[in-house]
Amino acid sequence: MLLQRFSADDFRNLAHVEFFPSPRATVIVGRNGQGKTNILEAVYFLCTLKALRASRLAELIRFDRDAARLSGRFSLGGALRDIAVEIRPGSRLASVDGKRAESLEDYFGGVSVVAFTPDDLAVVKGAPEQRRAFLDRAVFNRLPGFLAASRAYLRALRSRNRLLREGAPLEYLRAYDDALAAAGGRILVLRRDLLDELAPRAAAVVASIARLGGVEYRYAPAHLDCPLSGASATTLSFELQAALRRRLPRDQERGFTSVGPHADDVEITLGGRPARAFASQGQARALVLAWKIAEIENLRAALGRFPLLLLDDVSSELDPERNAFLMQYLAGSGAQVLLTTTEPALVRGAAGPDTLWLGVESGDVTPASRAAG
C-alpha cells in the first residue's frame, strides 16, 4: 500500500496542503506549533476516520470555517483508490472514488496505518485508559470485526449509563445488559487474539533493543471469573452478563457501569513485576517501541504488506541508542513512512536519496532542502 497524493483543506491550522509523498520516507520539518503534527493527524484521520488528539470533530476544523476536507490517492495491490472525508461539527461524510461510502468497511478496505506519537511513550506508566486506547488502535488495524463490535458496545454502554444515572427500573437495565455483554464478548476475544499475536513479537524486540528478558504483555479483563485464554465470545458474553448482575448494586449507587471492556487493562510485566511501577523511564520507552515495531511486523505478516507509518517527533523523546535502532529499522524495512521533527539530524538514519523533505511554518508547507533545520 502506498499513499501517492494527499491534500487537506481547512484542517486545524492548515488552510490548504497538498503533496506527493515519497514511496519511502517523507520528513516534515518545522518548529513546534507550526502544524507538523496537524499534517500527520490529517493523514491518520483520512485513513481511520478517528482523531489522534481531538475529542470533538469541531476541534479539527479551521477557525471560522464550516468544514474541513481531506483526500488521498492510494495504490492498493496495483489498483488506485481515491478516498476523501468531509468533516463538519458532529459528522463525517466519507467517499470512495467520488461516491459516498456505503459502509465504513468499504471505506477502510485495504487501507492500514500505524501512528507513533510522543504520548505513546508514556503508555506503560500511564492510566489504564491510555493502554486500552493503545491496544484498540492495534486491534482496529488488524481485525476488521473490531469496528462493528466497538460501536455496538459504546452505544449500549452509553444507554445503560444514562439509565443508571436516571434510576431506571431493573427491566430497562437488563435489556441493555444483553447488548452490552454480546458486543463485549466479541471485543474481549478480538483484544485477546491480537495480543496473542503481538506479545511474542514485542518481547523478542525488547530483548534485542534493551536486552531485557522476562517481558510479558497480557490482556487483563476486570471482574471476570473465567480464564480468558481459549474462551469463546459466547462464553465471555455469559460471564459479562453474570458480572453485570453481581455489580448492579454498585453501579446503581455510583451511576455508571463498572465492568466490561471499557474498564479493562493491559498488563506489561518485567520479570513478573508490573512495568508501570518498576520499569525505568528508558525501559518503559523500550517496551512501547517494541510494541510498535511488533505491530508493524504483525500487520506485514498478516496482510502481506507494510501499513503506512506515521511518526510524530518521536525521535526527540528517545535516547540516542533507541532512536538509532528505530531509524535503522525504518530504513531497512522499505515501508512508506511520514516523520515529523524539529531536528532533521535526528531522523537522517531513516532518510535516503528518494526522501521528500518538507518544511512547515504557520500551516504553510513548502519543499525543504536536505540540510533544512
- How far, in Å, CA of 261 to CA of 255, rounded? 17
Confidence of residue 225 (pLDDT cuts 50, 70, 90): confident
Report pLDDT for 371: 43
> What average pLDDT does range 51-69 have in this prediction?
92
> Does position 223 have pLDDT exceeding 80, yes or no?
yes
- How far, in Å, CA of 342 to CA of 345, rounded? 9
- How far, in Å, CA of 175 to CA of 97, rounded? 41
Report pLDDT for 116: 95
> Does position 372 have pLDDT exceeding 50, yes or no?
no
> What average pLDDT does range 318-340 have in this prediction?
94
- Asked whether the beta carbons of 186 and 149 are under 8 A apart, the reply is yes
- What phi and psi values does residue 359 have, to the nearest 5 degrees? -110, 145
Can you name the CATH fold of 121-304? Glutathione S-transferase Yfyf (Class Pi); Chain A, domain 2 (1.20.1050)
> Does position 201 have pLDDT exceeding 80, yes or no?
yes
- How far, in Å, CA of 327 to CA of 59, rounded? 32
Confidence of residue 370 (pLDDT cuts 50, 70, 90): low
> Does position 349 have pLDDT exceeding 70, yes or no?
yes
Match 520528513 to its residue by C-alpha cell: 27
Per-residue model confidence as pLDDT tens digits over 237-257: 999 999 999 999 999 999 999
Element (H, E) at 205: helix 170-210
Per-residue model confidence as pLDDT tens digits over 116-152: 999 999 999 999 999 999 999 999 989 878 989 999 9
- Asked whether the beta carbons of 23 and 336 are under 8 A apart, the reply is yes
* Least confident interval from 47-56, 297-306, 354-363: 47-56
From 27, 50, 60, select the one nearest 310 (Cα to Cα).
27
**What residue ranges of the chain are covered by domains with CATH 3.40.50.300?**
1-112+307-373
**What residue ranges of the chain are covered by domains with CATH 1.20.1050.90?**
121-304
> What average pLDDT does range 15-41 have in this prediction?
96
> Does position 340 have pLDDT exceeding 50, yes or no?
yes
CATH of domain 1-112+307-373: 3.40.50.300
> Does position 373 have pLDDT exceeding 50, yes or no?
no
> Does position 98 have pLDDT exceeding 70, yes or no?
yes
The 3-state DSSP class for residue 185 equals helix
- What phi and psi values does residue 92 have, to the nearest 5 degrees? -135, 130
- Asked whether the beta carbons of 352 and 370 are under 8 A apart, the reply is no
Whole-number percent of the chain with pLDDT over 70 = 99
* Least confident interval from 33-42, 106-115, 269-278: 106-115
128-142 and 145-166 helices, crossing angle to 10°: 140
Report pLDDT for 104: 77
- How far, in Å, CA of 352 to CA of 334, rounded? 11
- Say which residue, 371 or 300, is predicted with more confidence: 300
The CA-CA-CA angle for residues 114, 123, 156, to 5°, reads 75
Confidence of residue 268 (pLDDT cuts 50, 70, 90): very high
